[in-house]
Amino acid sequence: MTETQQSTDTPDAEALSHVKDRNAGIVVCDACPVLCRIRPGRTGACDRYGNVEGRLARLDPLVIAARAGKDGMIPFLGAEWDGSLLSGATAFVTGIGAGTTYPDYKPAPFIVSSEIDGVEMVTVVTEGIFSYCGLKVKIDTDRFLGPECAPVRVDGEQVGHVTTAEYGSQMLSLGGVRHLTGGTKKEGQVTCETLLALANKQAVEVTIDDGARVVLQAGAAPIIDGVREERMRVGCGSAAIGMFARQWFGHVDEVIVVDDHITGVLTEHQAGRFLDMRPAGIRVRGRRSTPGRYFQVANPGRGWGGTDIEDPLEIIERIDPRIAWPGLRLLMVSTTGEHAAFYVLDEALMPRPAPMPEPVARVVERIGENCEPALVSILFMAGAGGSLRAGVTENPIRLTRSVRQGLTRVTSGGAPVYLWPGGGITYMADVLAMPENSFGSVPTPALVAPIEFTLPLAQYRAMGGHVDRIRPLSALRTESRASMIAWRDANPWPLDPLSR
């Protein structure tokens, strides 16, 4: 075939977008690599695109977020909005429901201009198809969930792993391209379904090998082995000693704050020495780090302070008769204050349970008061590359550079994102900052997430953007799929003019 013949026989981009079998009325959806053949009145495998009167159509609403204007009113949240009062000061077009830029030759579905304080701004809106994506899950608890690197499973399929614990929280890494596409078909499907549910703020139960069963839901308390967690620890055992030493002084002779990470011993601790407290002679198990700070006093678990201890006296290695004395008052407490016991040494220097004095109980209650509510936090993480960037500009590296230089603002469903340093556009977004049901999926499998790029028109033109596809914000009054939601006031307004 000659080059001329090849050019003649190849359908143009517009034709490829709406390939039809005219005899059967079938539309081939090219919004993702699956290429569903959709019969009239039906939807594709993702339920996001359908055959509407012989044309491929995005079915979900295009979400526009509206905030109050100068008069304090949100101008068009009603169903009968006629498109009036559209302004970049009060309306932001999100990528939710916009459609995708796949395949690579397509410009973004919506490239919208507006004027803010005399500056012409452009927002490029699309739904990214992300195989390279996952969730970072922060679980506020000291309880042992599983060994580091232990597989996290749903329906028996591995969807992630336990990662490095952080201060007062256990962490999971879920998803990623290896689980989505690198394993069995079932593993990919279960991983995609799990990510989609969690990203859309739904509850999912996971199991951890050699560990716990945990119900996760963004913004809710974790449920660990059927028990709802209430408190995030006030700090490690050493930190608790430092915070409350003065309040214990004069009411106890020794305090041991049991903690899986750093157990604190008051009279040995610098805080106790500062108060000139008499040494108590009670030595705890574990590896002594610095004065009053002990590592590895017990194994990780679901008992006192995230250890496997149920009886706190188990961590006492010895009581020195040359230093300790009968009548010595000992408080043992966990880092959340949920566990606490008071003892007095008898004549044989054995700790005996005793009623807790009211001033001591008050400080234990204060530990609990200073604990924040235990929550599950979920960050969506993805790399924006390939066709997504080509949908913004003909020269994708210019978008990356513009983002790096702070000339282009990146948001996800209008929510701010954290941009990782280094190459590419790798970002994280708090799913709680995003509108409801921001995420979708395709059966490749991959997640679909909204992403928006906002920058001055002059910069967009300079980067080689698809300026011929720009439409004014006011033109969206003819968009039948437009749906208005209230802006989340905690999020910064993306259309405010950017500064370098």
Say what the alpha-carbon torsion angle 15, 18, 22, 26 is, to the nearest 10 degrees. Answer: 150
CA atoms within a 13 Å half-sphere pointing along the CA-CB vector of 485: 20
Q: Look up residue 458 and give its amino acid.
A: A
In this structure, are residues 337 and 361 in contact, taking their beta carbons and an 8 Å threshold? Answer: no
Per-residue pLDDT at 14: 43
pLDDT in tens, 441-479: 999 899 999 999 999 999 999 999 999 999 998 888 888
How far apart are alpha carbons 206 and 210 in whole angstroms? Answer: 13
Per-residue pLDDT at 214: 98
Q: Look up residue 59 and give its amino acid.
A: L
DSSP 400-412: HHHHHTTSSEEEE
Per-residue pLDDT at 455: 95
Per-residue pLDDT at 275: 97
Neighbours of 477 (CB within 10 A): 14
Q: Look up residue 336 and give its amino acid.
A: T
Per-residue pLDDT at 483: 87
Rg (CA), the chain: 29
Per-residue pLDDT at 481: 87
Residues of the chain with pLDDT under 70: 1-23, 69-88, 498-500
Cite the DSSP H helix spans in 275-411.
358-369, 386-390, 396-404
Q: Where are the beta strands (DSSP E) in 400-494?
A: 409-412, 415-416, 418-419, 425-430, 440-442, 446-456, 470-472, 482-486
DSSP 308-335: S-SSGGGGEEEE-TTT--TT-EEEEEET
Nearest to 145 by CA among 133, 156, 160: 160
How far apart are alpha carbons 60 and 162 in whole angstroms? Answer: 35
How far apart are alpha carbons 19 and 35 in whole angstroms? Answer: 10
Per-residue pLDDT at 437: 95
CA atoms within a 13 Å half-sphere pointing along the CA-CB vector of 260: 25
Strand partners, 377: 138
Q: Look up residue 255 and give its amino acid.
A: V
Per-residue pLDDT at 294: 96
Q: Which residues contact 480 (CB under 8 A, 6 or more apart)?
A: none
Per-residue pLDDT at 1: 34
How would you classify the pairing of strands 133-140 and 376-384? antiparallel
Per-residue pLDDT at 438: 97
pLDDT in tens, 211-267: 999 999 999 999 999 999 999 999 999 999 999 999 999 999 999 999 999 999 999
Whether the model clears a pTM of 0.85, i.e. scores above it, the answer is yes
Number of residues assigned to the chain: 500
CA atoms within a 13 Å half-sphere pointing along the CA-CB vector of 176: 13
Residue 301 is given by DSSP the state -
Q: How far is CA 489 from the centre of its chain?
A: 19
How far apart are alpha carbons 353 and 312 in whole angstroms? Answer: 12
Strand partners, 27: 20, 38
Strand partners, 171: 138, 163
Per-residue pLDDT at 56: 87
Residue 74 is given by DSSP the state -
